[in-house]
Amino acid sequence: MIDRRIVGHAAAASVAAAAVFAAILPWVVLYHQETTGSGGFYTAMARHPGTFTTGPEGFRILTPWLVSLLPGSIEHGFMAVTILCLALSAGLLFVLVALLMGIRNAWWGVALFAVSGPVVGGLRDPFLVDPLGYVFVLSALILLYFRRWFALALVMGAAVFEKESTLVVLLPAAIVAATDRPRQLLRFAPVLLLPVAGFIAIHMTPLIWEHRGHHSWIEDIPGMWRYQRDEVGLYRAPLQAVLYSLGPMWAIAFLGLRRAHPFLRLCTPFVPLMVASCIAAADWPRIIGWCFPIVIALVLAAPLTQAARAVLAGAVFVDAAVSQALATSAGKEAFLLLVFVLGAASPWLLGERAELGVVRKLRGLR
């Protein structure tokens, strides 16, 4: 059972996040995303739930169909779902971090999440399905922590209809089951079978889509490679993926590995598998941004002072939020790299000795 204090704080975090996100979204939303890119397919699915659009977007039915059930316009429906799901993700992240390392760290987790690429990108383009996907991933990780295998199977079985990226949770689930007592492997079986059955049902049978288009992620790989090479640039694509997603948190996460909770270490394979999925994806910053539950928890396991965490949060905000509003240029990239380095160096620039010195100076002024 989850401690009542954790539940209360998590609820407060969700409410606060919802208020902040609702206030910010109208100022940052890119309305043209409703009709372009993946957002255009999802909004078309919301307007015509019975019509298949194209793969792979056409198989991600939960968010568009949920929006189609809401009163009001499709545009406002997507915005409402995005705000609520990002806020719920903040609360679930709070629960996960609090279980692993306490309530105080959990509030820092929410703060780092709020300034990261997944939130900034979600508010700028609220016509995507990722926010509800985050809810599934975080719920799955919490259920995995408690070894609630049946509930985890149900969540994963539903998550596959939201986005196939959620299936990455199956890897840490398998690792946790394998490292526990042998009988846990039997309990893991439905966790694997339900999402696989759901994936087959929507992708390969007429149960949900009688008329559906063909889609192959393997066939996507050459086209995505050409896109990254010709449109983004082979050096710029990974650079932007790191900076625009979680910024300097990527570097500091390595510091937390040794101190991390054993459960968190078992879940870290989630990160390389999600990064590897970029081979068949165009929007690399958004894809690797899905790693935020693991990366943020690892950051909070690192030996950082409060000042270092504050500087890190500021650096993440500049790299993930401010940067995307600026035109691409060599100067912009140099500036963002400098911010990245400052954020990554915060454990040393603002370590315990530096923080203690500041405290002494402040006491001397009294």
Q: Which tens digit of pLDDT belongs to each residue from 23-33? A: 999 999 999 99
Q: Which tens digit of pLDDT belongs to each residue from 293-332? A: 999 999 999 999 999 999 999 999 999 887 776 667 778 8
How far apart are the C-alpha atoms of 284 and 44, rounded to whole Å?
24
Q: Domain residues of the chain, as ranges?
A: 1-209, 218-366
How distant is the alpha carbon of residue 204 from its chain centre? 28
**Is the predicted pLDDT of residue 133 greater than 90, yes or no?**
yes
Mean pLDDT of 261-267: 96
Q: Which tens digit of pLDDT belongs to each residue from 267-289? A: 999 999 999 999 988 899 999 99
How distant is the alpha carbon of residue 31 from its chain centre? 22
Q: Give the predicted TM-score (pTM) of the model.
A: 0.93
Burial of 206 (0-12, 13-18, 19+ CB in 10 A): exposed
Three-state DSSP class for residue 302: coil
- Quick one: pLDDT at residue 41? 93
- Quick one: pLDDT at residue 84? 98
- Quick one: pLDDT at residue 354? 52
